[in-house]
Amino acid sequence: MNETARLNDHRDDRGYVINPFEHLQSTSLISNCHIFSIEPGHVRGNHTHPGRNEEVIVIAGELVIRMPDQEKEYTLSEADILKIDPGVCHIFANENDSTAVAICWSSRRDKGYEGPDTVR
């Protein structure tokens, strides 16, 4: 099930420190880890990962994440994390005036699946 959470961002006068993997029981399954940015007014995505999940945490700015097949929409800001189930179509949008930055990774892979991601 897709779910959102707020991670402990250890915030003080200097800024914040986030461990994006603190919610995982094990980090041994992490794969496909990448950082991305989206400029204001732009989108990324409209794709699925049939054989793996995807988790996204916003590092700076704000992202709107749409799941059109499920008619769901989430708005994430700094230290918010969203878990996206395998096979769920998702679109990342920046509808604000500043650059959004996020980290994505997979923490679960369907056993035996070696196929590609699907772009719509």
Rg (alpha carbons) of the chain, rounded to whole number = 14
Give the C-alpha separation, 116 to 12, whole Å. 42
Helices marked H in the chain: none
User: What is residue 67's predicted lDDT score, i.e. its pLDDT?
Assistant: 96
Let me know if residue 116 belongs to a domain: no
Q: Classify 90 as helix, strand or coil.
A: strand
| Domain extent for 31 | 3-109
Q: Which CATH number fits the domain that encloses residue 69?
A: 2.60.120.10
Residue 64 and residue 41 in contact, taking contact as beta carbons nearer than 8 Å? no
User: What is residue 23's predicted lDDT score, i.e. its pLDDT?
Assistant: 77
Select the more confidently predicted residue: 19 or 90.
90
Let me know if residue 118 belongs to a domain: no
Give the C-alpha separation, 101 to 94, whole Å. 10
Let me know if residue 72 belongs to a domain: yes
Let me know if residue 55 belongs to a domain: yes
Let me know if residue 8 belongs to a domain: yes
95: phi > 0 → left, psi -120 to 50 → alpha, else beta; which? alpha
What average pLDDT does this structure show over 71-88?
93
pLDDT band at residue 1 using 50, 70 and 90 as cut-offs: low
Domain count, the chain: 1
